[in-house]
Chain A
Amino acid sequence: NSKVIQTPRYLVKGQGQKAKMRCIPEKGHPVVFWYQQNKNNEFKFLINFQNQEVLQQIDMTEKRFSAECPSNSPCSLEIQSSEAGDSALYLCASSLLVNTLYFGAGTRLSVL
């Protein structure tokens, strides 16, 4: 069973609504990644953190998406104004080193 905990498992929002999901990385893992997996199983990297600092992020993330990994709190990914195209499985992964990613079960977002 995954030691990366993602909540909620399912999230249903209307267009324009905020959607927020959380991730608790595996204990001791300093690096956290967020990916979006669409219905065609395509992965899109969104953002990654080392401890509380952003390492890399894509342009999309800089607009409607925001993410943070505060000290001693779950990491979070928030979509300010959900769009139908945001419907996807959002996967959080944590890593100790050398890119072995340990994924959580994901949050499946449906935007109606």
Chain B
Amino acid sequence: QQKVQQSPESLIVPEGGMASLNCTSSDRNVDYFWWYRQHSGKSPKMLMSIFSNGEKEEGRFTVHLNKASLHTSLHIRDSQPSDSALYLCAPHSGGSNAKLTFGKGTKLSVKS
């Protein structure tokens, strides 16, 4: 059973600050990672995915991946109160329609 470790469990950053979230998988067959975001009382929505080693940037969001260490991180610059949400990491392995195993998430609060 794959384990997905996310840290920190919760994070408070000031508006305009940088938020850094981490995720590590125990499954050496992981081929890519997904990040989902779930606002309070809402369903999760896909935020970003990363397939290759290195970095991927989309607007204020940057994802890093190190496949050797099975570690990914999500960085949010210029954090906004609307970024306050539960951020879920989901490593993928086992075929295109295999289940995703979600981590417990990092609860981000952006304080104005």
Report which A residues bind B (CB closer than 8 A).
2, 31, 33, 35, 40-43, 45, 48, 50, 55-56, 91, 95, 97-106
Contact = CB atoms under 8 A, between A and B. Distances in A.
B104 A40 contact: yes
A99 B100 contact: yes
A77 to B, nearest CB: 15
Nearest to B86: A41
Interface of B: 34, 36, 38, 42-46, 49, 86, 88, 92, 96-102, 104-105, 107
Contacts of B42: 105
Contacts of A42: 104
A46 B107 CA distance: 24
Given A101-B46, A104-B43, A106-B43, A45 B99 contact: yes
A99 B97 contact: yes
Nearest to B36: A101
Contacts of B92: 99
A45 B97 contact: no
A7 B97 CA distance: 24
Contacts of A100: 34, 46, 49
Given A100-B46, A103-B44, A43 B102 contact: yes
A31 B43 contact: no
A55 B102 contact: no
Contacts of B96: 97-99
Given A41-B86, A42-B104, A105 B97 contact: no
A84 B97 CA distance: 31
Nearest to B101: A45
30 contacts: A2-B43, A31-B97, A33-B99, A33-B100, A40-B104, A41-B86, A41-B107, A43-B88, A43-B101, A43-B102, A45-B100, A48-B99, A50-B97, A55-B97, A55-B98, A56-B98, A56-B99, A91-B43, A91-B44, A97-B96, A98-B96, A99-B34, A100-B34, A100-B49, A101-B46, A102-B46, A103-B43, A103-B44, A103-B45, A106-B43
